[in-house]
Amino acid sequence: MTTDGATIRYRDPATRRYNRRMIVAMFSYIVLLISVQRGFPLDAMDGPARWVLAALPGLPIAAVFWLIGAMILDMHDEYLRLLEVRKAMIATGVTMTVVSIVGFLEMLGGAPHLPLFYVPVLWFGSLGVGQCANMLIERQRS
């Protein structure tokens, strides 16, 4: 409550920090991706310099996982934290299930190779599955 009695709707500071940092990470990703693709003749390069440049756009994506972890650790609201943890665990389970099966399909089933880049993409998409599972579980319990 504010001093004049007006009600403040709860917003966890950790979530606000996460949103701000996420914007920075996504902006960095776009800038790095465009800079590396357009600023350097990657096809004409070889060796460590090319590897470092090629890895650069992956860093902001990797940072997102750390940001999610930091948000979960910093969250003040323990019930919302439980929901976030469950969502991330479901996303991890879905991703690991899919990549395990795809791995054997590639190795034994002659399926085309799936670039590793799609693993984090799949995980981010699976967060939606986790969100739906949260809604269903909570609705079932109420």
* Interacting residues toward another protein by CB under 8 A: 1, 7-10, 12, 76-80, 82, 138, 141-142
Shortest Cβ distance from residue 43 to another protein (Å)? 51
Residue among 99, 103, 105 at smallest CA distance from 119: 99
- Beta carbon of residue 141, minimum distance to another protein (angstroms, whole number): 4
- The nearer residue to another protein, 80 or 122, going by C-beta atoms, is 80
Check: CB of residue 129 under 8 Å from CB of residue 95: no
Nearest distance in Å: CB 94, another protein: 23
Taking the least distance from each CB to another protein, the nearer of 74 and 77 is 77
Cβ contact 88:56 at 8 Å: no
